[in-house]
Amino acid sequence: MKKTIRLFIGTSLAVSFIFLIFSQCFAENIKSSKLTLDECYQLALKQSETIAINSEIIKEAEAHFTQALGAILPQVSFVRTQTNQDSERAFSSYNHNGSFESKFVFKQTLFSGFKEFAGMAGSRLEQKQRINEKKRAEELLFVDVSDAFYLLLEEQEDLKTMGLIRKALNDRILELKKREDIGRSRHSEIVNTETQLYNIEAEIQLVKSQELIAKELMAFLIGRDPGALLDKEDTPDSLEPESFYTDNFRSRSDVKAYDFAAGVAKKEAYIAKAALLPTVTVEGNYYEKRNTAPLDTTWSTVLKVSVPIFEGTTTYGNIAEANAESREAELEYARAKRLAIQDIHDSYINAYSAILRSNAMEKALKSAELNYSLQKDDYKNNLVSNLEVLTAIQNFSNTRRDYMHALYEKKRMYWQLKAAAGHIIEDKIQ
């Protein structure tokens, strides 16, 4: 019995130990996983209040359609009326000091200028308008996320560059001290190199603060600490002709939203004009109980025709207002098309220039790296001075930082162009 208990306890401890190790490894894997741009964007979609508000606005538009549909469908209600009064005919066969009736009431509008159908069509257009507005908000959110994503990567790469330069200067100082010991280098050269090293140390602290700000911006967008990032997006080194991006500007989500908004305004203008037309309704009553005359009637119907003759200037004012709003919506749609073309054109120029600069800086970086390597070799052979080597280090540092800035600027401008043209990949917009 004791052996069985010991065996059971030993097995339980072994299982617990294995589970603990597995849990720690799993947690470390999660912690070490790097977020991609798509993953950051999906997190930002869940975090963004703007997207959530747009989703609720779409639900409001759906509710407007339900309201418009309700105006077409018949209305059924149950009504009970009881009237108490002081009457001298207390024993009247009808009153008995009051009257009551309970009935089912059916109402149906037969004609009202078809404004209910216009309202339904307008609410459908409003739904499409809100859906496209939400899609545009998602596209702009993707631009914000990509800007923050590449800004953080740029700052992290900047820190790597500073670390490389700091190591190069430390190595340089060690080499100079060895040369000073054998009389082949002056102490002033060491001091000059140390000055550059201290400047790099100060620059590293500045870049760290900028990295922290970029990280906080990303954390604000995605709702968590971004940790390490992984760039898996391929950015082309050339662009299609500008017409490729501008030809389908009408399909851009915000332009389509303005188009649908103009359609909604037209339907509202029609509804305002329909107020001048007659309204025909039919009402039916089915009496469950009553003590009012005529007692032998169980149902009744009323056909009502209402023709507006004069209601002051209210209706005409409403029509004029609706027509003005319709023209205003048309003008906003026309302006949205012109602004879309201009936005695409500006984004194309920025992306095109950024690509050219990035390609040129890539060549400059290779040359600066080669120059630094050659200067080190020449210094060992006493062909150049320490000052020339320091200049090569500084040139390599500046060129690499400029290249990383140009590289991530190219990526940011590319996604801004895609968003301006409405070409954000559909699987990013859930």
- CA–CA separation, 158 vs 173, rounded Å? 22
- Determine the Cα–Cα distance for residues 383 and 143; give it in Å rounded to an integer: 51
Q: What is the spatial distance between Cα 264 and Cα 127, in angstroms, rounded to a whole number?
A: 10
Per the CB < 8 A criterion, the answer to whether 265 and 253 are in contact is no
How far, CA to CA in Å, does 339 sit from each of 28, 72, 131, 372? 49, 40, 20, 48
Greater confidence, 329 or 76?
329
* DSSP-derived secondary structure letter, 111: E
d(CA 357, CA 343): 21
pLDDT for the residue 86: 63
Instruction: Compute the distance between CA of residue 33 and CA of residue 226 in angstroms, rounded to an integer.
Output: 10
Give the domain ranges of the chain.
35-82+100-428
Output the pLDDT for position 304: 87
Residue 412 structure tokens: 């940011």
Please tell me the least confidently modeled range out of 17-31, 99-113, 374-388.
17-31
| Beta-carbon-side half-sphere exposure of residue 400 (alpha carbons within 13 Å) | 22
The one-letter amino acid at 136: R
**Could you tell me which of 72, 60, 156, 160 has the C-alpha nearest to residue 116?**
72
Per residue in 25-36, is it b (16+ CB within 10 Å) or e — as a string?
eeeeeeeeeebe
Give the pLDDT band (50/70/90) at residue 160: very high
**Long-range contacts from 372-381, C-beta under 8 angstroms, 24+ separation:** 372/168, 372/396
- Per-residue pLDDT tens digits for 329-371: 999 999 999 999 999 999 999 999 999 999 999 999 999 999 9
pLDDT at 311: 76
What confidence tier does 425 reach under pLDDT thresholds 50, 70, 90? Answer: low
Residue 294, preceding peptide bond in cis (omega within 30° of 0): yes
Q: How far apart are CA 281 and CA 273, in angstroms?
A: 19
Tell me, what's the pLDDT at 19? Answer: 41
DSSP letter for each residue of 145-199: HHHHHHHHHHHHHHHHHHHHHHHHHHHHHHHHHHHHHTTSS-HHHHHHHHHHHHH
Distance (Å, whole) CA 254 – CA 54? 13
C-alpha closest to that of 115 among 261, 274, 269, 264: 274
Q: Which residue has the tokens 């060129």?
A: 399
Handedness of CA 206, 211, 216, 218 (dihedral sign): positive
Tokens found for residue 276: 């001048």
Please check the confidence at residue 285 and state whether its pLDDT lies above 60.
yes
Question: How far apart, in whole angstroms, are the C-alpha atoms of residue 224 and residue 43?
Answer: 9
Decide: helix, strand or coil at residue 252.
coil
Choose the weakest-confidence range: 19-23, 91-95, 303-307, 405-409: 19-23
Q: Say which amino acid occupies 364.
A: A
- According to the CATH classification, is domain 35-82+100-428 in 1.10.3720.10? no
Q: 107: part of which helix (H) or strand (E)?
A: strand 98-111
Residue 420 contacts residue 342 (beta carbons within 8 Å): no
Q: Which of 135, 168, 144, 116 is nearest to 40 (CA)?
A: 144
pLDDT at residue 428, as a whole number: 55
Using alpha carbons, list the distances in angstroms from residue 345 to 236, 237, 348, 356: 18, 18, 5, 17
Q: Residue type for 202, please?
A: A
Report the percentage of the chain scoring pLDDT > 90.
Answer: 43
Cα–Cα nearest to 259, from 331, 344, 323, 341: 331
Q: What is the mean pLDDT of the chain?
A: 84
Using DSSP, state whether 290 is helix, strand or coil.
Answer: strand
Within 10 angstroms of residue 246's Cβ, the number of other Cβ atoms is 17
**What 8-state DSSP symbol labels residue 113?**
T
Q: What is the pLDDT of residue 87?
A: 57
Question: How far is 319 from 279, CA to CA, in rounded Å?
Answer: 18
